[in-house]
Chains A and B, each alone.
Chain A
């Protein structure tokens, strides 16, 4: 008996990607426009007045990794959570639950599609950013895998959120009230080294700091925290999410009555 049905996983993946393109205005154009506005306002307009830059970088270039991460986190969580919440909400989840589909196919389908959307968005945003700010990517292969790792981890987190939520309010409360503040305070727009003590120590308790700095290292070869620590923590988060989702499928928590 096969433990993984590739065709089932591909079917879910394809369906989820199609859903994104069906709602392209909301799922692709809106985040690209929002991020572009950040580049225009903070990168080109305000950053243009900051002659000294940050950490030896032009301010516009400095914020590129952070803004990219801001979009990736939000979109990964949002896409994956809506992807599984909507069939739960409408009752269409019956088809998934009655199909010969296990945790592996479900994750590859739903989380894979959400992560893919984030990667597509990241590529569009980087392309768009090149019109407003000059940036370089010192380690493009690392950058790709780091973005992939973050997209996958937060898509898994979004999937958990979509299973936990029993209302649209709960679905949006975590991205709006937790993720966005953590990202803004996680060194997207400034270097953690610029903060006085004890705020620097407080900031180090923010997990997003490690993500932003990890991505910044892949762009510019330097960051506030070691890249190994960023990678290790992100991997740990990924493993914890997979473990929790495996438990959800075994126990049927909020999926099966």
Chain B
């Protein structure tokens, strides 16, 4: 007997048992696979907040389980299988690197629903979801462009992938719009979470004259470095990082997964779950903008909030032409907005950003 058949029959048996269990107790089991520790203060922390929100919303009707710091690759496949064997009805896999493992395991457990964050591969029982963080980056860029005195903005990139490049472009476009002299210095940390590396990157950028640090990494180390340097502002990433407010953290981009997790869990309970691709932004509440502190002048704050409102109601798209690519070729014509396909695969800088995307 093939493993897949074996697993499928085991899953079926468990599914039946699980079904009986669910009838008796009315419990839906939801599993979460986390790439970092739940106490990372950033990416995984917010996913875990979403998990807690699911528990709070449904109380006794739901049981959640999670495994943290799961390496991408075979370890994640094992953890997903284990959750499925233990009777999970819905499993959220919350890192890009879980994409192929999620697809593999989902094929072996057709009755279990899977939700994979930030990927692009779907199946009948695999949905994908992500947030339009670039919308938040536009607001950061606006504040950064207004606030910088040295006209040098430092940016700590994690990996040169479309998600991160999109954020850099969005921030740059909106900083440049309010401050034509602005210059971006980009450092690649090649990690999502490594306080030591992030602190080093922040210090290098500050030494090079940056008085605003934007980050696409999840720790608060850059905030600490900025605080030490004084007169450098930062933005919370993934999580509010309010412990560094009002200075150096002047605002933040907050991932808010709770509404989505609650909705999807509800869909499983109601039997209305279908495979979908969700990419929500500020409007739907998946991307939150943390409180803009008094370190930001009132009129700048007002402009930023107006920008936020226009993005939220859809009247403004952060990637609106005329825009050119770094090499001078045309990207978007006057008034044209970027479509989702272009955004999803973005692998070029917009005009004005110096340096090359490493590869």
Are A and B interaction partners?
no
- Which A positions have Cβ atoms within 8 angstroms of B? none
